[in-house]
A and B are shown apart, each in its own frame.
Chain A
Amino acid sequence: MLLTVRDLRVKYGNVEALHGVNLSVKEGEIVAILGANGAGKSTTLLAVSGIVRSAGGAIEFGGKLLHKLKAHEIVREGVIQVPEGRRIFNTLTVEENLALGSFVRNDAARVAKTREWIYELFPILKERSDQLGGTLSGGEQQMLAIARGLMAEPKILLLDEPSLGLAPLLVKAIFRTLEQINRAGVTIVLVEQNARAALKLAHRGYILEVGNIVLEDSAPALLANPEVRKAYLGG
């Protein structure tokens, strides 16, 4: 296993948001985490990235115990998150946003190669490279957020609702790009409310309900599961 989350508990103040979450991700996989609003999907990813502290359990990645590391150290392990709501740096240029993505990398030649690859994946970002992040459209901002994550040369990419607020056509384009990224060797954890699109892309999936994993299966099995269809796929 590349990433293993065991009995993860997270508290906000006195309220427990995750009650012992277990999940694992193999190298090369795309794993979807699905669930309703407020189920704890973002909290799970934020705990993996060290942005929220865990109150119990363990997070292991490539032999390292992430729950013992600080957020910036976790990034150096190759665990990169594209956060919910994009969180790009609005008043910095596209180029500066991308440069920040590669903040932890020192090999300038390799960084330049990554940037070339990113501009191939998202040609529009090249056109907009001198523009401020905040002036991009929603779809372009999402591309920038993903591109910025890729600049870190992730071993695993955690994406929190990349389809949020985007038109269906754009969602398709973004998901197609995610597939390309995965084929290039990047393991992906995909948090989504758009369950159908996510399961079509993913190899496996987990269903999270109010802080507990209630179901785990292969993506095709989840797509066929009547319970899942009723609750998350609109019948």
Chain B
Amino acid sequence: MEEFFQQLTNGLAVGSIYALIALGYTMVYGVLKLINFAHGDLFTIGAYLGMTLLASFALHETIGPFLGLIVLALMVMGLVAILGAIVERTAYRPLRESPRLSAVVSALGASIFLQNAVMLIYGARFQVYPEDLIPETSIDLFGLYIPVVRILVLFVSLALMAALFIFIQKTRIGTAIRAAAIDQDAARLMGIDVNRVILLVFLIGPALGGAAGLLVGLQYGQINFTMGWTYGMKAFTAAILGGIGNIPGAMLGGLILGVIEALGSAYISIAWKDAIAFFVLILILIVRPTGLLGERVADKI
């Protein structure tokens, strides 16, 4: 039973990271009906920026670990958000009126460009985060010893998701984003500047993706320029699992996928860990192509 709960909480932590990334895919898909293939690479950049900022400012030493991590996270999110907006302006906006395929090719191009930029700047080898950032102790939760970092990852991800959920559901701008995702022209007739909604989505999604990159760096200590591919693929699966375009769906899909993956690799075989996500993807596409909470059809991708 101990093993089961360890895997469960681990799965939830990893899944919450998938969920954070999945939100970027699903929000962009919501308003543009386009998969932002560069999103996984923005996540990678978040991880690298976190490392660089940690090394250059050592905020956790000057202003303390708690405040330091918060400031670090905000810096990473802000910078990756700006990068996301630049990707939108340069790779997607010029092709807004072009055939869908042009935008897909442009998205792939942006992804390759960013990935190679990271490799050229940081090199192709694994990079490590500074050690002893987060105490390597475990906390006793009802007799279950959970590593501090796992709790941190879960807490930060869930807090970010809750903030996003409230923003989208309860605010005027959030409602405008939902309206633009349903019917762009009708949204325009409400006086909504759809271009600004799209820009906003390209700020929020990458900010969350960047935060996820930082969390992966903190949790595993090791990062690589191709990490955006694996995580991106899984987050994309999570978005499809929840119903692409559906924000609560992406959150749910991420958590479920993380748990399936953790339990699967513990009880079936660790060698299958990365294949499990593919298997889940294929299974949903066959059984329920609209995803758990989605109404849209997957063949629109």
Contact = CB atoms under 8 A, between A and B. Distances in A.
A90 B191 CA distance: 18
Contact of A87 (B175, B178, B185): B185
Nearest to B295: A91
Contacts of B191: 72, 75-76, 103-104, 152
Interface of B: 172, 175-176, 178-179, 182-183, 185-194, 295
16 contacts: A51-B188, A75-B188, A76-B191, A87-B183, A88-B186, A89-B182, A89-B183, A92-B178, A92-B182, A96-B178, A99-B172, A100-B179, A100-B190, A104-B191, A148-B190, A152-B190
Contact of B190 (A90, A91, A103): A103
A141 to B, nearest CB: 13
Given A103-B172, A103-B191, 6 more contacts: A51-B188, A70-B193, A87-B186, A99-B172, A103-B176, A148-B190
Interface of A: 49-51, 70-72, 75-76, 80-81, 83, 87-92, 96, 99-101, 103-104, 148, 152
A87 B189 contact: yes
Contact of B175 (A50, A80, A81, A92): A92
Given A51-B185, A103-B172, A89 B192 contact: no
A168 to B, nearest CB: 27
B188 A72 contact: yes
Nearest to A82: B189
Contacts of A89: 178-179, 182-183, 186
Nearest to A89: B182
Given A72-B194, A99-B172, A92 B179 contact: yes
Contacts of B188: 49-51, 71-72, 75
A47 B190 CA distance: 15
